[in-house]
Chains A and B, each alone.
Chain A
Amino acid sequence: MAIGLFKDGIEPGRLAPAEYADNFSDLHPPLDKHEALVEADRCYFCYDAPCMQACPTSIDIPMFIRQIATGNPLGSAKTIFDQNILGGMCARVCPTETLCEEACVREKAEGKPVQIGRLQRYATDEAMEQGKQFYTRAEKSGRKVAIVGAGPAGLAAAHRLTSYGHDVTIFEAKPKSGGLNEYGIAAYKSTHDFAQAEVDYVTAIGGIEIEHGKALGRDIHLGELSEQYDAVFLGMGLAGVNALRAEGEDALGVTDAVDFIAELRQSTNLSRLPVGRRIVVIGGGMTAIDAAVQSKLLGAQDVTICYRRGQEDMNASEFEQDLATANGVVIRHWIQPKRVLIENGKVSGIELEYTVMRGGKLTGTGETLVLPADQVFKAIGQQFDANALNGSRPKIALEKGRIKVDSEGRTSVKNVWAGGDCVADAREDLTVAAVAAGRDAAESINRFLKA
């Protein structure tokens, strides 16, 4: 029986069983064939299409949409996968409103872009449901590449490398592949265990070995890898979490939002997942939104996102912000955490300070307020855990706390490449950007191996 929204504390089973399924169903449900055809007909087949330029993986969007419109969804899927082998996941999780769909000329024309993401899902779903594989491995090159991390960057790199005939071994710290696709993306964006289905689809090409439970810096070391393999690709994401730097942040009930989400994503029975009655989420990005919305969907009564700057500074897109408010989340701006209030060893609230911009610098005004809370999520960004690189000889150069790479993804070490969230580059921290980085690094590695 549901215990309801009003019970204090961090408790499971706030909702009736059926409500969980409802709340965590597809955020953007798939288009059926008719819907896909109607939508595909809206595309103008633009020249040097703005949508395509805005796609970090440069998918030929007008072409794949035209292929849907002309009754060739498999050809469409191939057009997508040619550029982005994780096109299925990207179709679900890309913030299209700030990428392709923002650039779509019909956004300018009518404020209603072509629904590129949903069309991409239509085509890729079709191919994956049919188990259609478009790629085969080239003749074996006899070269071996080690990849660290089976997230989007690692998987994209692996697929491209094996297609060139190189043997790939992925070392993955976690028990499952997929990276944040499996452990981080909001549940309503990746339903029905899609992340694992996609890993299977990508690795079905062959030549990709994944060793789970193998962490770089613990079980394996970069020095060995770079000696034993012809090339190494690091796609380790961001394993560390930024500190709140607020008093009391170690109290019971203060949790990293990414850990909460990972637990949620791995839960096989959401009614057993405990969630607070009053929740405060600190942060302004996608993680903050996801933690807040999913808490709400688990039955939390009051969820407030507190962000220390203004609305326009939030990393979460307008669509994401609207999604949160539509789900009853309150977003407050210009307040920063000061102190976690504790009663009986548990969180009872959080004291926050108002902020302003003074002389181009964010400063606290000194004035504070208190929000009652039985759970506080920290969503103020992840950081790269450079400890994992222990033992690299010579030492890998870092930049802004992440791995330094050139435009091809080469690190400072001769046969080591890196890409995705773990590097300092111009790309955003997005699934699709990680795919692009992995793919491009694989091209660079291939050129290196064939030279």
Chain B
Amino acid sequence: MAATLDPFTTLGVDENAGDEDVKRHYLALVRAFPPDRDPERFKVYRAAFEALCDERKRLEAKLLNNSDAALARLRLHLLAEAKPFSARASKATLCALLVEGVARASALGESDAQP
């Protein structure tokens, strides 16, 4: 499945949300992830906002695309019991992440090495 989320899921709004709701969620995300800190993420939020900012566009998003909003809600439901940073990861997981990082970094090769 594509990792790109549909605009409803990106902004975390319902398919039946109105203008105000969409704007509120968008501004909350921009406050949490200001564009100067994470321009790429901001671009994603901005694109999602522009795709939903009025009734016609929301209809377009709903009718002409495969909306994954319901799927996202189901995933969220499964994640409902999550308590961020309430536990520690295992050593095996950390090692696996470090090995993954080493594999990516060494694959870049000598010509790609940055000072």
Whether chains A and B associate is no
Binding site for B on A (CB under 8 A): none
Residue numbers of B with Cβ under 8 A of A are none
